[in-house]
Structure 1
Amino acid sequence: MEGLILRLADLDEGALGAVRIIAFFDGFVEHRASLEAVLSATAQFAGCEVGLAGGSVPPLAVRAGGGVPSAGDPPDGVARAPVGDDRWVWLARPGQPLAQDRMLLDRLAHAVRALSPRPRLDHPGTGDPALLELVLGAGADDAGRARALRLLGIEPTCPVTVYAVRSPDPAAGAEFLAGLHPWVRAVRIGDVRAVVGREAPADEPTIPTGVQVGRSAPVPASAAQRAWRGARTALRFTGSGLPAGLTTLAGGSALVTEESLGVWRAIAEQVPGERLAASPDVAALRRLGAEPQGPQTLAMLVAVGATASLRQAAAVLYVHHSTLIARLTKAERVLGFSIDTPAGRTRLTAALIIRALCADLDDLPT
């Protein structure tokens, strides 16, 4: 394949140059090269930036000289040629175009069309949801996952972000998806909707009321299974399941990102739920929550863990300082440790977070 790569500047403007361009792209079609390889080699061949845009797949661009394609929209004023399915290839050459640019674009479009996956022919009876489950599941090997991605119209190196979305109201969930990205792939797994979209937007998306979202870090599409695991973990820290006011996790936001979890991600993913639930501190919180004034007691403990002093906690709860101390003394007898110390606050905060995780351990599919 490397022997086919020629600099466009070395080509004749006549028949010999046209033959070489045709041979260049026919070699990719014959060897069933990936779209990434075609775009990368074309950028090196042409000596300028090229790309693929439009349709329901993310736009790809390769800088002059080749390299790994990355997500990127075409510059203004580029030369283009249609591929079909509302897609088109483009070429951005600085200065004056060369005589062979039009033929190069046409043959690139032909190669992309010939090498694009055709799900209905290659995988009859299998729709997008089944393919996406294959991509996100742990049962597929790398080759199978890459094939499923291409059948979905996603190149394995394309940057994606994976979301785990829970919504009791389907309309609210659909509203979130509609405003998420120009393109998404989604499938319901259990009570959670798995969503694969383009790179996360610079501005935080609007979360409709009642919708909870865990978001992965951006990854290549080939790593979507790992990102799905990170998004599910982040989802466990969202909403009312996490005590509001804990500054360590932004107060149980409706949107929690994988990157924001820090060490809590390792704890949530690697420590078995049974061991977390068996912690004496978590068991003590469950006993306190089961008492007649349990919700008020837990709210008090959250406020103590999230503020710098007992007086601040009392102000947040709108109770007198002495009333808070009396309630706290009673709670400390059940917990078995003093809360009004730096070590005690850290221990309390950890116990509250783990209690929230334990309450959600059985809700997500594995």
Structure 2
Amino acid sequence: MDEALLRGLTPSVLAALVRRGADFAAAEDAVQDALAEAVRVWPTGLSPGSRPRSGGGDPIRDAKGWLITVAWRRFLDAERADAARRRREVLVGREPAPGPAPAVDDTLRLYFLCAHPSLSPSSAVALTLRAVGGLTTRQIARAYLVPEATMAQRISRAKRTVSGVLFDRPGDVATVLRVLYLIFNEGYSGDVDLAAEAIRLTRQLAARVDHPEAAGLLALMLLHHARRAARTAPDGSLVPLAEQDRGRWDTGAIAEGTGILRAALARDRLGEFQAQAAVAALHADAPTAEETDWAQIVEWYDELVRLTGSPVVRLNRAVAVGEAEGPRAGLAALAALDDSLPRHTAVAAYLHERDGDPVTAARLYAEAAAKATDLAERDHLTRRAARLNARRPR
């Protein structure tokens, strides 16, 4: 059985059951049963254009319709067997006859359900990966480096929370985008590439909603992902943007991301993700680090500050100011920010190094390393401190 085919069908099958009246948790269980049945009776190596066959050998002309029918029957069977929930027996009379699935696309509803405001960010992320992404609980747990039992409990709680939620008004696209952005930023842990998975889901969402910020987020992900191969050295250490081998950047992803961004910006409905993507595009457009248009990057950070007011954006702006106007201008911008911000000390170290003060820079790099929670980042900052200390006269 082609796993990609099943994963692609899972969200629409689950959403169809929810639309018919099944609560989320019961619908998800029924869909998993239907998928297991598909693995049992469908032929190995089935491609999206192929026709699976039923247990009796008859061709199945509509794979999605087959899954919906089997899942709905599993749901009804479970409902009939659950004496405590007999009130749902009215649904029995609504069992659909086997046949082509309706052309209704319920996947968007599922995005909104998984990003419901009643869920915590971590629960929304896990539920999105499970329900929309079609990942198993084990895969999600490995990606987040937590025990499978812990992730199973998190997903179960999330399913209970959204069970019975009715959508009587459009969902919040911005919340869905934020969840997808969180998934992308988790990186590449475990046996699932969460960055690639986030791109896949965001591409799917952008095709379903007429929203420039969905396109902006997709462009941002593609532009950042394009630099992935150059971000680490063979020994696993981090390589700063200015030192990366730009020949290793994915020019195809850069071209696609830039094209998507231009189309989104042309609609003149600027949002946070479009502005972030514009910064990433300027980095991608520079043949060398020295040729980066830092003045324009500062302008885009000004737009981001206006849009978000985020202290983290202001911190990144201080770095850009330091590159565009000199390290002392960057330090002046940094002085206006709370020094408890994540990466504040590392930025101060970098700007002092640029300003020709290696003693202060080395001390601050060491302090930043002690605060770092990411092992690779801690190692990078420690190396920079050691390099500067080694240059000091004895």
TM-score, length-scaled by structure 2: 0.26
Q: Larger helix proportion, structure 1 or 2?
A: 2
Who wins on radius of gyration, i.e. which is larger? 1
Q: Larger strand proportion, structure 1 or 2?
A: 1
Structure possessing the higher relative contact order (Cα contacts under 8 Å, 6 or more residues apart): 1
